[in-house]
Amino acid sequence: MRDAYLVGAGQSDYGAFPSESYRSLFRTAFDAATNSVPKGLEAEDVDEAFVGNLGVGGRQLGLSGPAVTEHVGLDGVPCTRVENACAASGFAVRQAVQAVKSGMADIVLAGGFEIMSDMSSDATKYWLGVSGETEWERLSGTTFSGVYAQMASVHMERYGTTREHLSRVAVKNHSNGAKNPHAQLGFECSLEDAQSAPVVADPLNLYHCCPTSDGAACALIVSEDVVDDYTDDPIRVAGVGAGSDTVGLFQRDTYTGVPASQRAAESAYEMADVAPDELDFAEVHDCFAIAELLAYEDLGFCEKGEAGQLIESGATELGGELPVNTSGGLKSKGHPIGATGAGQVVEAYKQLSGKAGERQVENPARGLTHNVGGSGGASVVHIFEKEREVSA
């Protein structure tokens, strides 16, 4: 199969934008992505598109992909909407890579969008809940935060993980998000702030939970046959892995890990022929602080049960051995469900292009993105690597 390359990526701001529509946010992301391509890329160059979207609020559940692609000038371009809950656009990126590697297309757009801020809190809880098991979780009253609280409680009991460890995730990610002009919660917080916030679902408090967000993100994947037409500094999609699992947490054998993420990571590492200690940074799915700690273990950044020690060591901070969520993560940058996976790829593109500003990792050669649907019903991992040196 042919190699696939990431030649551009961009996003809208994440936040609450009552004057914007899902189309206008997608336009912002698409324009940012095409403008980021070093040698330029036009809408008419695109052969195919994959767009991630959960459809919060039910605005345009049918044909929401073509609704945004035609708006940005991709008239007639085949477009497929991908829905895998919070992993929707991560899987859209995977589909784009598959289309390029298979020879079906040379230039593919992968993106996503979501509008979440214009509903009541009860309605928002409903739409978040549809990513869990409907009959035995959502309809029985379990919330999305409640499911992750169960995971946190078991991890704390079994491995000695503490509320302070959870709060350190928030402090780190807010510190990074404060350096990201696109972040919804772009401010720093102290450890005291993160530990004393109101409880949402014990042991998780407000600072342990990501916000609901509006936003869009896009990435451009091209084949080895045309990559030199768009950049002299190619970023190769070195590895891709995906996994799925039971939708309901109660159906699984473990509450202290996400087997779909473990399977996705194993596949991505094998394809890229790299080990976790060869990564220079990672964007992981931190919808709740416990989710980031679980990701450390699921992705092989540390041994089982040692995530608390890893966050406490400072290794995953900007400037640490393996910076995690330099963008601010879902916690600070925001979590517009359908856009989140593609938004992680935006950060990978900026880091590997030397364009991450104040949060730039020093001379990174390889990075990972990790996107999870629901509480682990689906997961996708990508590994990106530079083929040539790029000066910051």
Catalytic center residues: 86, 335
* CA geometry: angle 136, 141, 195, nearest 5 deg: 120
- The region, left, alpha or beta by phi > 0 then psi within -120 to 50, assigned to residue 57 is left
SS3 letters across the chain = CCCEEEEEEEECCCECCCCCCHHHHHHHHHHHHHHHCCCCCCHHHCCEEEEECCCHHHCCCCCHHHHHHHHHCCCCCCEEEECECECHHHHHHHHHHHHHHHCCCCEEEEEEEECCCCCCHHHHHHHHHCCCCHHHHHCCCCCHHHHHHHHHHHHHHHHCCCHHHHHHHHHHHHHHHCCCCCCCCCCCCCHHHHHHCCEEECCEEHHHECCCCEEEEEEEEEECCCHHHCCCCCEEEEEEEEEECCCCHHHCCCCCCCHHHHHHHHHHHHHHCCCHHHCCEEECCCCEHHHHHHHHHHCCCCCCCCHHHHHHHCCCCCCCCCCECCCCHHHHCCCCHHHHHHHHHHHHHHHHHCCCHHHCCCCCCEEEEEEEECCCCEEEEEEEEECCCCCC
Tally of CB atoms within 10 A around 58:
8
